[in-house]
Chains A and B, each alone.
Chain A
Amino acid sequence: MAELATNTPPSSPEVTPENEKVISPWKEAWKTFRKNKIALFGLGIVVFFILLAIFADSIAPYEMNGQKLADKHLAPSSEHWFGTDDFGRDILTRVIYGARISLWVGFVSVSGSIIIGSLLGIVAGYYGRWIDGIISRIFDILLAFPSILLAIAVVAILGPSLQNALIAIAIINVPTFGRLIRSRVLSVKEEEYITAARAIGMSDMRILFHHVLPNSMAPIIVQGSLAIATAIIEAAALGFLGLGAQAPTPEWGKMLADSKDFLTDAPWTLFFPGLAIMLTVLGFNLIGDGLRDALDPRMKN
């Protein structure tokens, strides 16, 4: 009997026929993503805005807060592509700098919500029982508020500033991620490889962070890219309401609020920041949809 096993030849039928290079699941997702033209377009938009934000200092034609009252409300021209606002500041310059703020708020607040939400979600899902009860109820309470109202309430407590708006946005997104991770953990922890991992003597912490979390990454990434879009809108909304960035910070929402009084005289003051918000949000949403198709083909319509 033993002969059979020892003599298993290298060319046994179990060998996979492919001899190509090993493809990791992430590379495979990227391959699918690359084929999605619309998602690539979204990625293009986002990369464009990221480059604007990084190189704002060298790209921007004027100074960020350079006022020139004589040049106020100039229509778009070859000198001021996007025109000027009521203080004679170049709108193109301010939109470029605004990319920095919006993207910063988007990435940082969503990273914050992912980290806090994941921790809470993992703990709730893995340990269950009363811990799960408490954490889930907190999520329920947070989700019971309309998100923008909750953000306004948080900012009202902390005081209006860009940083506090960022914190508020992070807080309102925590339950979304927390619930997402919790449900993933609940299904992943029943998988046999988790039992197998315990059977070779792995500790709970190691299982959570080495086996459960990586297997929950795909939905987090998808939800994350969509959440950045929402976060940017929310930051703009708070800015518009005067609860986010304060003057003279060139925040897109704030720029919209400042220009609403001149809507008929100088519509470009409103148009370009609005367009910038729309494009960034569109970009992130397209990426999010593309990632969902690439990472979880079952959810595709």
Chain B
Amino acid sequence: MRNPVLKVKDLRTSFLTDDGEIPAVNGISFEVNPGEVLGIVGESGCGKSVTSLSIMGLVPTPPGKIQGEILYNNENLIRASEKRMRQIRGNDIAMIFQEPMTSLNPVFTIGNQLIEAIRIHKKWPKNKAKMRAIEILKQVGLPRAEELMNEYPHQLSGGMRQRVMIAMAMVCEPKLLIADEPTTALDVTIQAQILDLMKRLNKETDTAIMMITHDLGVVAQMCERIVVMYAGEVVEEADVKTIFKHPKHPYTVGLIQSVPDMRLKKDRLYSIPGNVPKPGSTKTGCQFAPRCPHRNERCLAETPPLDTLETGQKVRCWLYQEGKGVEAIGRAVGKG
């Protein structure tokens, strides 16, 4: 196996507020391997986006505070200077955002913005940059690439804009693409096209993708490995098949159960009771305990460690530490 492109070790991103320092991401670790599609899943507010912004160095500090290690090619990005970060952004690690409607500058043409993105990192003459821009627009499946170069963002549909955003992110052939809920704002048919496009680019260019989403459907379609986050922590990590076939953590089980199944006629859709805790509100014990159907006293008192099981699956839950309760959860899944 090749060295991972990105290695996040014990990343802790907190924000200084009037109520003190509140951690949004609380000691997470994971790796992204070359050419791999990694999914990061979790409910809104569990720290997914903050994780991606921390990697890009786009968390404003202060009030933000980032600790731990983010290793890109053995270089710790947390310690990197702003100048070095600017070289890395776009060129080595690129990012696409949730909202394609507002991610393009309304006063410039598509061509203008693409050429600018190229010329930030490559000292190419304008003509060469323009050729490359047209080429990448074609590569992301946009028709009439030459004409599009002279058009303004408001003349494009949401799906087209997201393609342009992907083009802009991929134009310098980064090693890693961070996609922060790239399909959330799009309608379902366009969603599928965009996911296919990303999958295709992943295969063609060997760019690793870190897919941040709350949509398990997207994960199933796209990812090879999944990290499940809850309240700023990694609660489970495994490859995609294992997660869907044998989810271990009660939270993952709940997430999978709450995906509506068309084959079953149900009056009520399942949802995990309760809400994601406000960052900083839970201090001791398992973060998920208040919403967990299997909690016991130990869950409330002590924080479970992230344990690697025999199967290679990582899970943060007391149930698997004691070797019991597996059956209980198995039954819960069966019932769903």
Binding site for B on A (CB under 8 A): 1-2, 4-6, 8-12, 14-16, 18, 22-25, 191-193, 195-203, 206, 210-211, 214-215, 217
**Chain B residues with CB under 8 A of A199:** 56, 58, 89-90, 94-95, 97, 169
Binding site for A on B (CB under 8 A): 56, 58, 85-91, 94-95, 97, 99, 102-109, 116-117, 120-121, 141, 143-144, 147, 150-152, 155-157, 159-160, 165, 168-169, 190, 192-193, 196-197, 199-200, 203, 221
Q: How many A-B residue pairs have CB under 8 A?
A: 111
Kindly provide the distance from the CB of B300 to the nearest chain A CB, expressed in whole angstroms: 39
A178–B192 alpha-carbon span in the complex (Å): 46
A143–B99 alpha-carbon span in the complex (Å): 39
Q: List 29 A-B contacts (CB under 8 A).
A: A1-B200, A2-B196, A2-B200, A6-B200, A8-B193, A9-B143, A10-B143, A11-B143, A14-B157, A14-B159, A14-B160, A16-B155, A22-B147, A22-B150, A25-B152, A193-B104, A193-B106, A195-B58, A196-B95, A199-B89, A199-B169, A200-B90, A200-B94, A200-B117, A201-B89, A201-B90, A201-B120, A202-B86, A210-B116
A6–B165 alpha-carbon span in the complex (Å): 18
**Chain A residues with CB under 8 A of B147:** 22
- Give the residue name and chain of the B residue nearest to A215 (CB): B107
Known contacts: A10-B143, A14-B157, A215-B105. The answer to whether A4 contacts B58 by CB under 8 A is: no
A210–B168 alpha-carbon span in the complex (Å): 17
19 other A-B residue contacts (CB within 8 Å) besides A5-B200, A14-B143 = A5-B193, A8-B143, A12-B143, A14-B190, A16-B156, A22-B150, A191-B102, A195-B97, A196-B103, A196-B104, A196-B165, A196-B168, A199-B58, A199-B97, A201-B90, A202-B120, A214-B107, A214-B108, A217-B107
What 7 A-B pairs have minimum CB-CB distances, sorted nearest first? A200-B90, A201-B90, A201-B89, A5-B196, A10-B143, A8-B141, A192-B102
**Chain A residues with CB under 8 A of B104:** 193, 196
**Chain A residues with CB under 8 A of B97:** 192, 195-196, 199
**Chain B residues with CB under 8 A of A14:** 143, 157, 159-160, 190
